[in-house]
Structure 1
């Protein structure tokens, strides 16, 4: 039986939702993001992309490229609502769907020909149903392996479909720029350029051992991709790898007291998220971005897994104390990772693992109050001044 994996990517998702909800924005150069000069574009409509505007670009640069750009604030709650509808559509076609992000997913199409016809017919039905349910267009890529399905979905955007048949894999890869392979970034491209590698066909001028010797395990994987080999399939459940919170300030600051308050607020958000999802992590990471956009991270691995707000906060403060603030700070954030699996329920016949730090009574009480009365029902005294001055 022929294996088929499909990658479904919603077209300019955030911006398309805004244009759908507000007809006055349709056909206009719309971008989602902060409107201040310190803001960043988080999504760009196809109309504004024609001017060179892209996500992650500063608002200042975006305005230079397109003076008529229309900036609208993001509405993550609305995007998640439409995303849930989109994922529901995909599950109508296959029980094996992997949500890759809020606007993209993989679908295992193996054996679905008996229900929906050839793979291109399946793709057309998915696109039609997606438009009917969400009101938005999507692009579909299909291939015998996962990484090629993702590449294919980007070939005919927007509202496109691209199918790579099994017999087309080798010729398709031969001329495919190596930078198109998911995971190949700037540093790897620089290394490959030294060996005059531009396309996947260039990689195959050397054997697997050649690339393993120079790039280690990544060399072997790269050679496999160039041959159309990808052992990864569609995974229906994916455990979280980290949980974090960060804030970009309206004005740069070097005030450690103010930074500490932000770390406390962020530690509360991270701790609450961890407890709600049943995760505990061993590694706490501090992220600091300075006014010149230089970014650093500092991490500490704890002796026990934790979801304790105080432990996260105190560790973050310890890491901040090690950072010299020679420049003002633009952004600060804290995260927890290294979960070592989801925390499971202990049965009556087991003792709780000694390495797992217990959730504090204070955290439990605060979580319970906020769950019942809302996130703003309880505020730590240290954060009251921040709450009063928040806009």
Structure 2
């Protein structure tokens, strides 16, 4: 369905509980680049202007229940979706593809089948729902993975319409009691799953893959410096801080080592994250290990305004925070790659050793 088309009776004509009120929104940037965490958070705030019942589906989708907002805005769900689409495009330069239905399953499927920037509505009518689902492949149903789809196709149940026409007992014999019952209901457009408002992500991760198996500890530390600096910038942009940091090292034989370190206090400060990353790396005692990739994960995130910060009387620490704020402003204006730590480029800008630790190894000496 295209925006602005007739969607049938308005809010006053149909009870709210009988109106399609679930919106599945997929966000896409105009140039096709990945949606940043900061932009995604702003788009969620845009949705919050219409309803508090929002389930974030990172990195670029969300589910919203707008049934409680229909009477307040005196619009149907398609009218609210049009407002969301126009504001996202005008304020953030992001195109929205929106599916609207009476439950999350149908709304998700409507959005998946819609063209970029389109608003598609599945009416709350048994015949319309059956027609919408009939010829879709069984794998289109949420929760039906490749193995379940192959099992259904082996019995000739290759479309949602055929799955819906099959006896429930047959589906339970093929897929198991619980899964068969759920698939039978979903093939008929039944999905009682509520929209559960979720909190911000509890972790954030970044990984660096080396061009070849890396033996040089200097290069590994430079990679960790870039990862920690990027994680800090992402958390500051989303207003979050981390309480712990996890390092994962993957070796040439595909084995991995993972270590976690609790931070002295909740922080998104780059130098603190870099110091913790260096300490984790040094504790592994890697000698001649051939490292294929390193990854950092900021764990146990919380909102920055809810975290206590230890006061510091060190002028250099305050100066570092002011510099970091200036760097964040430059990145917001000119792009994430506009400012990078000098030590990340190698050469004369080698990463310094840990504060309070004795230099050890070729990568731990100051230039």
Fold agreement, TM-score > 0.5? yes
Change (3 A) 1:318 1:103: same
Could you tell me the TM-score, scaled by structure 1's length?
A: 0.57
Report the equivalent of 1:65: none
- Superposed, which structure 2 residues align to 1:118-157 within 5 Å? 118-134=76-92, 137-157=95-115
* Partner residue, 2:26: 9
Pairwise mapping of residues 36-47 of structure 1 onto structure 2 (< 5 A)?
A: none
Paired residues of 1:280 and 1:342 also in contact (CA < 8 A)? no
Instruction: Compute the displacement of 1:233 (Å).
Output: 0.8
2:242–2:298 Cα contact (<8 Å) kept: no
Q: Which residue of 2 aligns with 1:280?
A: 243
TM-score, normalised with respect to structure 2: 0.60
Where in structure 1 are there 5+ consecutive unaligned residues?
19-30, 33-41, 43-75, 348-357
Q: What is residue 334 of structure 1 aligned with on the other side?
A: 296
Could you give the per-residue CA deviations for residues 221-262 of structure 1, whole angstroms, max 9, x where no partner exists? 545533421413151x4241322122244x434224122442
SS at match of 2:132: helix
1:106 and 2:63 correspond: yes
What is the root-mean-square deviation in Å for CA atoms of aligned residues? 5.2
Q: Is the 8 A contact 1:287 1:334 kept in 2?
A: no
Shift of 1:141: 0.8
Task: Trace 1:129-208 onto structure 2 (pairs within 5 A).
Answer: 129-134=87-92, 137-167=95-125, 168-182=128-142, 184-186=144-146, 189-190=149-150, 193-194=153-154, 196-204=156-164, 205=166, 207=168
Q: Is the 8 A contact 2:227 2:296 kept in 1?
A: yes
Deviation at 1:215, TM superposition (A): 6.4
User: How do residues 225-374 of structure 1 correspond to structure 2 at under 5 angstroms?
Assistant: 225-227=186-188, 228-235=190-197, 237-249=198-210, 251-257=211-217, 258-263=219-224, 265-267=226-228, 270=231, 277-281=240-244, 284=246, 286=248, 288=250, 298-299=257-258, 309=273, 313-315=278-280, 325=290, 329=292, 331-337=293-299, 339=300, 369-374=319-324
| Closer/same/farther in 2, CA of residues 136 and 239 from structure 1, 3 Å limit | closer
Aligned residues: 308
Structure with larger Rg: 2
- How far apart in 2 are the matches of 1:213 and 1:341? 44
Superposed CA offset, 1:64-104 (max 9, x none): xxxxxxxxxxxx77x945x5664454344334344434643
For 2:98, what is the secondary structure of its paired residue? Answer: strand
Find the aligned partners of 2:302 and 2:181 in 1 and give their Cα distance: 28
Secondary structure, aligned partner of 1:280: strand
